[in-house]
Structure 1
Amino acid sequence: MSIANGKVTFSLWSMKDDRTVGLKGFYDRLVRKGIRGIIAYVAPSNLAATGRRLAYYISLASSTTISRLWDWRHGVETCRGVATNELSGSDEALEFAVFYAPCAPSALRFMLGCIRVPHSRFEFVDYGSGKGKVLLIASEYPFKKITGVEFDRALHERAVQNLKDYKWRSCRPRKCPVIEPVHLDAKKYRLPADPCFLIFYSPFCSDLLCEVLEGIRLDLEANPRDAVICFFDDAVENSQVPKVNGILSLWEGWEVVQIPDIPKRMDMFYPAEAVVYRFVV
């Protein structure tokens, strides 16, 4: 983490984590200096760089505001990011941890709408479930059960509280009867015996990710049942999607599920990309 010009920069494992949290400085200058002050704040010497910086702050402001409004409407807290130095757990788990940031509801709903499964037969599992936002959105679909796996105790406890406090809307009612956040290292989690829908929002670094994926492959090879793996990440230079696609493409019996590109919505800081594979018995 570094501090410069009133902005805090978390330089962590991936581009998803390399976010300059400058929104407070942006708002402070708007209050103190007005529009001219903002122009001076975002305008370097050339127009192209100015446009990129303006687009950055517009995306930051819109995604943050929408995320906070979502929390307010539902009576929860999911939007505040958590840096790796704020997390707790074993040294091994922390070595592969990444910055917590909530997923965009529009991206998750788009993917779940594109991936056709008989929900009532499938258990939904979110690896690296953080404060439980994915679990709450997934509850709009009639999965047999929803489980979130999170190693950090504070994030897990926030997910448990969010589940208690969440206000389901009449337009998006709860359809899943059982939602269970689990405080556990992802390597130690054992898949449910039922068909499973496994989702990853780039929850940890490469080495641990490979180990968890290999554990999933071996489990389903030993006890075959239908399964879906959906891995998504921010569409940036260090996205893990290509690496995961390369791994899953080599698995015998698994087939890629083609879905359209995820549209960029106002609740997304970065565009998102995904890879989906299905194992059918």
Structure 2
Amino acid sequence: MLTSFGWGVILTILFSFWVTYKIGQRQLNAGKGGMGCLGFGYTFLVVVCVIGMSLGGVIGIGSSIYTKAKVLMNGASYTSKVVNYTSYDSYDSDSGSYTTMYTAVVEFTTNEGDVVTYSPSYSSSSKPTIGSYIKVFYDGSTNKAMDFSVGSIVLFIGSLLLMTVLLFVFFGILLFAMNYDMTNYKRIIQYVGLNIFIPVVMVLFDGLLIYAFFYGNSVPWFVSVLLGFVIVVLTLGIWGYFKMIRESDIEWVKTSTGSWSGNPVPKKPKTKREGASNARKKRANE
């Protein structure tokens, strides 16, 4: 008997087959000819991989976010104490070296008098301090806990960003297969990427550097100076980027086949006619 996972795999394959067929129809309608058996098979392989990863990632990440949000809303807040930690060696293929990663083990007592042991879902190269305190939320009805720290916040925001990207990829393929005009989709992607995604990633990265500067492992003084310099430069760069997207528009110029370059240009002031048109539209919507 098939499980829900098995049915999900079958439905994903059937849906991917239909999407591949619709992409082939779009290509025929555009006068580019049929894909052929080999082209259809290659396109189907790409589509099923992208859709499978997109849907699987959205379901997995969405379920994790839902669980954490439910704990945050229904759970009680406690101050937990770090009583121990676990460690493991993480291999860096770029440098060919190992880094010891640590995961804290905390304990707290619930309002009912139960002692709960909990480990956060993230690890750090900084060794946890025994006896330090971490704020956690705990839902006794589900025995689920969530810590409220810099690492968990970064992980939560990163999961949201990844889920948003996967959703955009999924709907992009679906709209393309349904023969929709992709102009508005591309505009939305450009706006979200330039005005939301890139700024959030830059601020998160800068925040992690600041956290490492104040709370990271002990390093030589020149490393701290270099890190401080990078933080200052990155912070100024973030400020300049926010100023650019507030005062400028991005003009996309095609540099070669399949390659585009975005250049900031001053925003065009609205003319009186555009302002009157927008006012009429606003009154009509009201």
Would you call these one fold, judging by a TM-score over 0.5? no
TM-score by length of 1: 0.20
Higher percent of residues as helix:
2
Greater RCO, CA 8 A, separation 6+: 1
TM-score (norm 2): 0.20
